[in-house]
Amino acid sequence: MIISLIAAMSEDRVIGRAGKLPWSIPADLARFKSITMGHALLMGRKTFESIGHPLPGRTTVVLSRTLAEVEGCLVARSLTEAISTAQDFEEVFVCGGEALFSEALPFCQRIYLTVVHGSYPGDVHFPEIPESFLELQREERPDTRPPLSYLVFERVERIEPGADAEELRQKGAEAMRRELYFLARRCFELSLALEPDADAGSDLAFCLAKSGGDPQAALQLAEESLASQPTNTHCLLNLAKIEIFLGDKEMGLATLRKGVQFGGGQEFLAELARVGVRVPPPIKSLPRNHLLNKYLGIMLHRIGVR
Ligand SMILES: NC(=O)c1ccc[n+]([C@@H]2O[C@H](COP(=O)([O-])OP(=O)(O)OC[C@H]3O[C@@H](n4cnc5c(N)ncnc54)[C@H](OP(=O)(O)O)[C@@H]3O)[C@@H](O)[C@H]2O)c1
């Protein structure tokens, strides 16, 4: 599970005034919605009261020591309790207010921060971001009123200047394993600038898809990486995962089956099982429940080839 903070602050770090947001910015609310949809939100009681209702499509955990229950939400008495309540979610978003942001910062891996350009009077502030967080994405939106910057930080070891392509690929793979997709993207981009590599290209494509990048660009990059090495099972697996992630399950399954043909092993079978497809029986000409298939299947599974 990834714990993320999501906030909008002014250039003076103001996040609220008299129990409300100091601004009304539909573009930022839409971004908040698209980033948090389907996940869990942790928020202080006053933040919840300022919104007034649970947000659709998300599980809201309200932190409070005074309220016993809140309709449509879960209630937690502490941050630890709130995190354990939401432990089954892939990403949990701490949405404020001030004290909760500060309390959650040491536990969080990612920060989505909107900087609202301009100065606003206020009574609650966003904490200073520790140096252990690296800014990995910045999108300037001078067209909105007021102008905004969308920033994403992840808690990371610094990327050493002078790191070679192999070191960067390893760092990217480690970040990917920890689901730090923005950091992984940065590492793979830097490694690819030094040296082309089909695996790194396809890993970059996967991280792009998982971190809200342009889905078509992710798919195209995964296809290009595979085209440079058409039997590369790592590229096939990433392409399949992207296709499934982007909603094209049939295409993803076809790619997974191709990967199995080219010798892809457990990872392909695990992905097939994850999307709900059963592995074909060992002897396809016999029914799945035939004794030979049953015992051969168990044996092959035990020796790790099925
Ligand atoms: N710009 C942004 O991104 C953003 C985001 C969120 C909020 N805001 C603004 O921030 C303001 C509200 O924030 P706030 O800091 O005043 O209040 P808040 O954090 O939303 O709520 C404080 C209350 O939450 C409960 N609480 C907080 N930490 C807790 C913990 N660890 N365990 C149990 N309960 C806990 C307590 O409720 P009880 O008193 O019931 O015990 C506490 O009084 C509003 O102006 C809102 O608009 C802005």
pLDDT, tens only, 1-19: 899 999 999 999 999 999 9
Q: Is the pLDDT of residue 64 over 80?
A: yes
Mean pLDDT of the chain: 92
Looking up residue 177, the CATH number of its domain turns out to be 1.25.40.10
From the CA of 101, how far away is ligand 1's center (Å)?
9
Which of 154-158, 242-246, 271-275, 302-306: highest mean pLDDT? 242-246
Q: What is the pLDDT at residue 301? A: 67
Q: Are residues 120 and 181 in the same domain?
A: no
- pLDDT for 217-241, tens place per residue? 999 999 999 999 999 999 999 999 9
Please report, as a single letter, which amino acid is at residue 15. I
**With 90 as the cut, is the pLDDT of residue 162 above it?**
no
Note whether residue 40 is domain-resident: yes
Q: What confidence score (pLDDT) does residue 94 get?
A: 98
CATH number at residue 126: 3.40.430.10
Does residue 147 share a domain with residue 184?
no
Q: Is residue 160 part of a domain?
A: no
DSSP 79-127: HHHHHHHTTTSSEEEE---HHHHHHHGGG-SEEEEEEE-S----SEEPP
**Residue 45: pLDDT above 80?**
yes
Residue ending a domain, choose from 127, 155, 183: 155
Q: Are residues 137 and 185 in the same domain?
A: no
Q: Which of 49, 103, 124, 125 to mutate to test the pocket of ligand 1 (most atoms within 8 A of CB)?
A: 124
Residues 142 and 176 in one domain: no
The whole-angstrom separation of Cα 42 and Cα 217 is 32
Cα distances from 98 to residues 75, 129, 141, in angstroms, run: 18, 13, 25
- Asked if 49 and 187 sit in the same domain, the reply is no
Do both 187 and 151 map to the same domain?
no
Q: Whose CA is nearest to atom 28 of ligand 1?
A: 100
Looking at residue 290, the DSSP 8-state letter turns out to be S
What range does the domain containing 255 cover? 165-275
Nearest-CA residue for atom 13 of ligand 1: 97
CA within 13 Å, CB half, 200: 22
Same domain, 194 and 240: yes
pTM above 0.85, yes or no: no
Number of structural domains, the chain? 2
Q: Give me ligand 1 centre to Cα 99, in Å.
A: 7
Average pLDDT over residues 50-71: 96
46 alpha carbon to ligand 1 midpoint, in Å? 5
Do 24 and 130 reside in the same domain of the chain? yes
Ligand 1 atom index nearest CA of 43: 20
Same domain, 144 and 51: yes
User: Hey, what amino acid is at 166?
Assistant: E
